[in-house]
Structure 1
Amino acid sequence: MQRLAGNLRTIDPEASESLRIVSYFDVLISRGASVDALLRGAAVMASAVVGATVRGRTIRRDADGRTPREETPTTSSRIDGGEWTAWIERPGVPAPLDDVILERLALGIALIESRRRLPGGVEVIIDAGMGEAERVAVLARMRIDPGALVRVIASPAGALSGADDAVILPTRRALVRVRLDRELVPPQKPGPWGLGTVVRADRAPESLETALIALRLTDERDRVVDASELGSFLLLARAFDPDHPPADVVALSALDERSRHVLRALAEAESMRSASAALGMHHSSVQARHEALTQTLGYDPRTPLGRARYVAAALLMRLAES
Structure 2
Amino acid sequence: MQDLLGRLTALDPDASETLKVVSYFDTLLARSVGVESMLRGAAVLSGVAVGYRDGRQVVRVQADGERIDPVELSASWPVREAGGDAIVWIEREGNPHSSDAMILERLALAVGIVRARRSIGQESSVELALSTYAAADERAAALSRLRLSDIPVIVVASPPDPTPLPQHPSAVIATLHGLTRATLLPKGLDPKTAWPQGAEPRLGIGLTGTTLPESWASAITAARLTSKKEPVIASADLGAALIVAQSVKAAATHPDVIALASLDSRDLDLLDAVVEEQSIRGAATRLGRHHSSVQERLATVIDALGYDPRTYRGRTRFALARMLFALRE
Does the alignment reach a TM-score above 0.5?
yes
CA distance in 1, matches of 2:223, 2:114: 28
**Structure 2 counterpart of 1:154:** 157
Q: Which moved more, 1:113-122 or 1:102-111?
A: 113-122
The alignment-based identity, stated in percent, is 37
2:38 is aligned with what amino acid? Answer: L
CA distance in 2, matches of 1:75, 1:238: 37
1:42 equivalent to 2:42? Answer yes
2:253 match: secondary structure: coil
CA distance in 1, matches of 2:104, 2:277: 52
Post-superposition offset of 1:310: 0.6
Q: 1:76 to 1:208 in 2, by over 3 A?
A: farther
Q: In structure 1, which of residues 94, 104, 107 is the aligned counterpart of residue 106 of structure 2?
A: 104
Post-superposition offset of 1:114: 5.7
Post-superposition offset of 1:163: 3.9
**Structure 2 counterpart of 1:21:** 21
Q: In structure 2, which of residues 180, 188, 206 is the aligned counterpart of residue 196 of structure 1?
A: 206
1:193 is aligned with what amino acid? Answer: L
**Structure 1 counterpart of 2:145:** 141
Q: Which moved more, 1:265-274 or 1:171-180?
A: 171-180
Taking structure 1 as the reference length, what is the TM-score of the superposition? 0.82
**1:180-207 alpha-carbon deviations (Å, 9 max, x no partner):** 122542214312222222256xx32222
Q: Give the aligned length.
A: 314
Q: In structure 1, which of residues 287, 303, 311 is the aligned counterpart of residue 295 of structure 2?
A: 287
Post-superposition offset of 1:312: 0.8
Q: 1:92 to 1:276 in 2, by over 3 A?
A: farther
Q: Which runs of 5+ in 1 are unaligned?
A: none
Q: Which runs of 5+ in 2 are unaligned?
A: 194-198
**Structure 1 counterpart of 2:262:** 254
**Structure 1 counterpart of 2:196:** none
**1:287-309 alpha-carbon deviations (Å, 9 max, x no partner):** 33333333322221011221111
Q: What is the RMSD of the two structures over their aligned residues, measured on CA atoms?
A: 3.3
Does the Cα contact within 8 Å between 1:150 and 1:199 map onto a contact in 2?
no
Post-superposition offset of 1:241: 1.9
Q: In structure 2, which of residues 192, 208, 228 is the aligned counterpart of residue 187 of structure 1?
A: 192
1:269 equivalent to 2:270? Answer no
**1:257-313 alpha-carbon deviations (Å, 9 max, x no partner):** 222121111111132221222223333332333333333222210112211111111
Taking structure 2 as the reference length, what is the TM-score of the superposition? 0.80
**1:216-236 alpha-carbon deviations (Å, 9 max, x no partner):** 212221111222211112211
1:121 match: secondary structure: helix
**Structure 2 counterpart of 1:127:** 131
**1:148-190 alpha-carbon deviations (Å, 9 max, x no partner):** 4222222222211754733222245643322212254221431
2:170 is aligned with what amino acid? Answer: A
1:187 match: secondary structure: helix
1:14 is aligned with what amino acid? Answer: D
**1:107-145 alpha-carbon deviations (Å, 9 max, x no partner):** 333445567864652122123343333222222233322
Q: 1:59 to 1:232 in 2, by over 3 A?
A: farther
Does the Cα contact within 8 Å between 1:36 and 1:127 map onto a contact in 2?
no
